[in-house]
């Protein structure tokens, strides 16, 4: 959620920090701040700190023209301890303003540490848990720590909880010390300069060489290099890896918002997800990253999928794909619930962890619990080198590229592509006929052009934007669907509520008569997924029930429905039944986007939400 950026080198740090923080805005935050080491002549170096409540742009506008110096650290904060305010914004300093700290995560024993430090004469200036770290580092120096590395190690040995931190010391003005435990931290390797970030997107444009820290690991960076080590000061040999994201992919271009840009990128992101993975000769999928032999793939008797939010809904569709094509029982469950029960972990079950960022804390905890109990876990991940990607036994990168808007769009559809490939692979090593494999491959190849058709039709008619503007004026919206349409409805409701702030609820169409039908009235619009499949007549009956009670209906269908059944029909191209949900989800993304625009919401950064959920 929060974001960290750091820089050591010959340049002034502030512009680099501000640019990096700007690239992390999509993660969600409520305040921002920077600190730099300032040196004048032969006098001692000093810290300069500036913080602002609000956006990075507010911080940039408040910086003095002579806010010079390096190294430096910056932070965007998403409030946990203490309200959003300048006082609670990071960086936090010790009483002498020698030490500056930025921190992601939660320090669980902060109250205990605060009480001890207060008894020792420390005066706190914020409500945050982070400030305790700055005072602990200062106390370590007071008690004889020889250098910044030792002081940070001494401080962190007293800390319980999750953290990604960066520490600056005006008396060690050539370095930054960082540490990770449960919250991502990575190093960027430049030419006689080094960077720190909590997310690789902050480093786009500066370097492609990154070093990922593991839990329990620290690093010292200087302009000439880095050293990684443990809390016990044992050296660790970490080598850089190369990231493939580029600055163009992270820029907004001519689009009004990142969200609509990323919706428009889906034809290309799907092509990337498919590239090199379709085996036309044998009508199957190449997925070498699974690290599964054919024998192992055949021996799994069931599949369990774990994710949070949109990843969980993608998992529900993935489970149906696996059952339909591979004839293996499959289910999807919220990782945040799974981690807190005592699951039965079976050796003949394949577990699939789904996370766009690869840092989702609940999903990571579920993966670690499964592996402790001997479960085989693969991942479906967007961010190469992320924590979950490195933790799992194998997996599929979706290659959606940078997704800067909080709401998942291209990562959602690319995840569905990954599930289709996995289902095709598992099916073909079992009993799926080559003709059926060919049918799915042909359908997958059609998807990019069909999504282009949806986008072009909306540009031509504006039907979805017009519909969204009307629906957005209501206080609540109901989304419904059957079988494959049911997870699509859930994802549609999720998108609508998170970017428009209008209450939206999804329900299985067949369940309407078991309670929700009582809500149907002229004031409650229903968005219905009505594919032209073997349940079409059942869906038509549901629409008739709603219309009999004068409920407004917006239908997603493969053909225009009569006005007796729907006030508006958004016609979606037809693909294979198993792949239709991918196409059905795109108009719902546009519906949510245009509703948010109509209501003048902060489309890319919805209130209270963050892209990468790295704290509970």
**Annotated active-site positions, please?**
2, 611
C-alpha–C-alpha distance, residues 481 and 511, integer Å = 10
Q: Quick check: helix, strand or coil at residue 48?
A: strand
Instruction: Decide if 406 contacts 498 (C-beta within 8 A).
Output: yes
C-alpha–C-alpha distance, residues 87 and 390, integer Å = 37
C-alpha–C-alpha distance, residues 201 and 83, integer Å = 27
**E runs forming strands in 108-234:** 161-169, 176-181, 186-189, 194-197, 209-212, 217-222, 225-230
B/e letters for 338-365, b = 16+ CB within 10 Å, e = fewer, are bbeeebebbeebbbbbbbbbbbbbbbbb
User: Which residue has 């006929």 as its token pair?
Assistant: 433
User: Which residue has 């690869």 as its token pair?
Assistant: 358
C-alpha–C-alpha distance, residues 432 and 166, integer Å = 52
Residue 600: Cβ within 10 Å count: 7
Q: Give the DSSP letter of residue 45.
A: P
Instruction: Decide if 425 contacts 397 (C-beta within 8 A).
Output: no
B/e letters for 462-501, b = 16+ CB within 10 Å, e = fewer, are ebbbebbeebbebeebbbbbbbbbbbbbbbbbbbbbbbbb
Q: Give the DSSP letter of residue 169.
A: E
Antiparallel, parallel or unpaired: β 284-285 and 302-307: unpaired
Residue by residue, DSSP assigns 520-573 as: -STT--EEEEE-SSTTHHHHHHHHHHHHHTT--EEEEESSPPPTTT-SEEEE--
Antiparallel, parallel or unpaired: β 217-222 and 176-181: antiparallel
Please state the φ and ψ torsions of residue 256, each to the nearest 5 degrees: -70, -30
User: How far is the CA of 361 from the CAs of 15, 353, 354, 498, in angstroms?
Assistant: 31, 12, 12, 20
C-alpha–C-alpha distance, residues 111 and 372, integer Å = 31
Instruction: Decide if 218 contacts 4 (C-beta within 8 A).
Output: no
User: How many alpha carbons lie under 13 Å from residue 329 in its C-beta half-sphere?
Assistant: 4
- Cβ neighbours for 262, distance < 8 A, ≥ 6 positions apart: 403, 404, 405, 409, 410
User: Which residue has 């949900």 as its token pair?
Assistant: 581
User: Which residue has 């409920």 as its token pair?
Assistant: 551
Q: Burial of 96 by CB count in 10 Å (0-12 exposed, 13-18 middle, 19+ buried)?
A: exposed
Give the H/E segment covering residue 150. helix 148-156
């Amino acid at each position: 959620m929060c974001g960290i950026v750091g820089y050591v080198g010959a340049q002034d740090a502030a512009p680099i920090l501000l640019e990096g923080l700007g690239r992390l805005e999509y993660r969600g935050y409520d305040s921002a701040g920077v600190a730099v080491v300032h040196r004048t002549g032969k006098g001692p170096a000093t810290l300069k700190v500036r913080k602002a409540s609000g956006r990075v742009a507010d911080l940039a506008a408040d910086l003095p023209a002579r806010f010079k110096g390096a190294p430096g650290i910056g932070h965007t904060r998403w409030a946990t301890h203490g309200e959003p305010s300048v006082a609670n914004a990071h960086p936090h300093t010790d009483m002498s303003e020698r030490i500056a700290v930025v921190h992601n995560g939660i320090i669980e024993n902060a109250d205990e540490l605060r009480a001890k430090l207060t008894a020792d004469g420390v005066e706190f200036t914020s409500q945050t848990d982070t400030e305790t770290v700055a005072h602990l580092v200062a106390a370590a120096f007071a008690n004889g720590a020889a250098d910044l590395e030792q002081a940070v190690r001494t401080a962190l040995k007293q800390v319980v909880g999750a953290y990604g931190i960066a520490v600056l010391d005006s008396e060690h003005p050539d370095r930054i010390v960082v540490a990770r435990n449960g919250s991502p931290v990575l190093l960027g390797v430049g030419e006689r300069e080094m960077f720190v970030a909590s997310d690789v997107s902050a480093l786009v444009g500066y370097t492609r060489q990154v070093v990922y820290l593991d839990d329990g690991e620290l690093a010292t960076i200087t302009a000439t290099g880095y050293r990684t080590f443990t809390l016990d000061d044992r050296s660790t040999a970490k080598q850089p890896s190369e990231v493939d994201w580029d600055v163009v992919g992270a820029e907004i271009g001519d689009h009004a918002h990142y969200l609509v840009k990323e919706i428009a990128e889906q034809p290309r992101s799907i092509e990337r997800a498919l590239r090199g993975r379709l085996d036309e000769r044998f009508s199957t999928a190449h997925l070498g990253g699974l690290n599964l032999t054919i024998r192992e793939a055949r021996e799994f008797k069931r599949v369990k999928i774990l994710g949070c939010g949109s990843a969980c809904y993608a998992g529900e569709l993935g489970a149906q794909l696996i059952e339909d094509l591979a004839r293996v029982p499959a289910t999807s469950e919220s990782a945040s619930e799974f981690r807190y029960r005592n699951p039965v972990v079976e050796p003949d079950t394949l577990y699939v962890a789904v996370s766009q960022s690869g840092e989702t804390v609940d999903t990571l905890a579920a993966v670690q619990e499964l592996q402790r109990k001997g479960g085989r876990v693969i991942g479906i991940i967007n961010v190469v080198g992320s924590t979950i990607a490195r933790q799992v036994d194998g997996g599929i990168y979706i290659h959606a590229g940078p997704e800067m808007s909080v709401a998942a769009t291209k990562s959602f559809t690319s995840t569905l592509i990954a599930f289709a490939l996995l289902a095709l692979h598992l099916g073909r090593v079992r009993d799926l006929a080559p003709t059926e494999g060919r049918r799915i491959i042909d359908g997958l190849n059609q998807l990019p052009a069909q999504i282009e058709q949806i986008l072009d039709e909306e540009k031509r008619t504006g039907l979805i934007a017009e519909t969204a503007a009307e629906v957005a004026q209501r206080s609540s919206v109901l989304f419904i669907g059957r079988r494959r349409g049911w997870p699509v409805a859930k994802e549609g409701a999720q998108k609508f509520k998170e970017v428009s702030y209008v209450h939206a609820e999804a329900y299985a169409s067949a369940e309407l008569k078991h309670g929700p039908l009582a809500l149907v009235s002229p004031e409650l619009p229903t968005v219905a997924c009505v594919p032209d499949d073997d349940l079409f007549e059942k869906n038509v009956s549901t629409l008739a029930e709603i219309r009999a009670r004068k409920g407004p209906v917006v239908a997603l269908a493969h053909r225009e429905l009569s006005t007796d059944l729907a006030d508006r029909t958004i016609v979606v191209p037809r693909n294979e039944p198993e792949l239709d949900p991918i196409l059905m989800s795109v108009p719902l993304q546009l519906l949510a986007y245009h509703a948010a625009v109509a209501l003048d919401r902060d489309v890319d950064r919805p209130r209270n939400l963050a892209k990468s959920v790295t704290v509970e």
